[in-house]
Amino acid sequence: MLTVYGRATSSNVQAVLWMLEELALGYTRLDYGEVFGGLDSPAFTALTPHGKIPVLTVGEVAIWETPAILRYLAGAYGDAVFWPRDPLARAEVDMWAEWAKHSVAEAFTGPVFWRSARTRPENRDAGLIRANLATLEGELAKTEPRLAQTDYLCGADLTLADIQFGHVLYRYFDIDIPRAPLPGLRAYYDRLSDRPAYRKTVMVSYESLRNTF
């Protein structure tokens, strides 16, 4: 039995849910975090010492931290295209996944998404948002040569790297910000948007998160 602890509007939870759907795995999701609370409850802190979502339980074993959860699922249930068995081929997927987590997701969620969509208009620092967006788009532009040649980050097929990268793109393209012209990225996002699992788990309303600070 696979159980995901975390609210559906969390981008990190969405990455886990997207992978579960792509791999056609059955699971249960429980609402934790934000308005649902529960992160400091004894039951939840028994699962993770950090009190953060997502957490995946596999039977009685808890796995926390999004990249660790994704690697577990890919290794346990993914095929050799999604998560290669050859160490060098897997390293390519892993490199792009690490970059996506640390250079893209972390540069988008707090610095851009929180400071724009989650912050009330009167509290927004437009100059800081522009600077943060420039940093983010400097990273996003690194995918342009690659996506001009391949449908996904590591070739013709979806891999773990795309899960770690693509889950932030819905909000990047949806929020009210000026975006740099990145045609390869836009075409890539359009391909992701055609995937039922992406639409179901990532392209969901985040209205409850708007203007909360």
Residue 82 lies in a domain: no
pLDDT tens digits, one per residue of 107-129: 999 999 999 999 999 999 999 99
Same domain membership, residue 134 and residue 67 = no
Per-residue pLDDT at 211 exceeds 90: no
Domain limits for position 191: 87-209
Last residue of a domain, one of 77, 97, 121: 77
* Reported confidence tier of residue 198, pLDDT bands at 50, 70, 90: very high
DSSP code per residue over 105-129: IHHHIIIIIIHHTSS-GGG--HHHH
Same-domain status, 141 and 62: no
Chain mean position to CA 76 = 20
Q: What is the pLDDT of residue 212?
A: 86
Mean pLDDT value of segment 47-55: 96
Question: Which of the four pLDDT bands, split at 50, 70 and 90, describes residue 26?
Answer: very high
Cα distance between residue 145 and residue 66, in whole Å: 27
Average pLDDT over residues 93-102: 98
Average pLDDT over residues 91-115: 97
Q: Quote the number of domains for the chain.
A: 2
Q: What is the mean pLDDT of the chain?
A: 97
- Taking residues 173-196, what's their average pLDDT? 97
**Span 160-171, pLDDT tens digits:** 999 999 999 999
Helix 66-77 and helix 87-99: axis angle, to 10°?
150
| Beta-strand relationship, 28-30 and 2-5 | parallel
Q: Rounded to a whole number, what is the distance in angstroms from the first to the last CA of the chain? A: 37
Average confidence (pLDDT) over 35-61: 96
Residues 15 and 95 both lie in one domain: no
Distances (CA, A) of 63 to 56, 57, 60: 5, 6, 10
Residue 53 lies in a domain: yes
Q: Is the domain of 41 the same as that of 7? A: yes
Instruction: Clarify whether residues 147 and 175 are in a common domain.
Output: yes
CB 139, CB 103: distance < 8 Å: yes
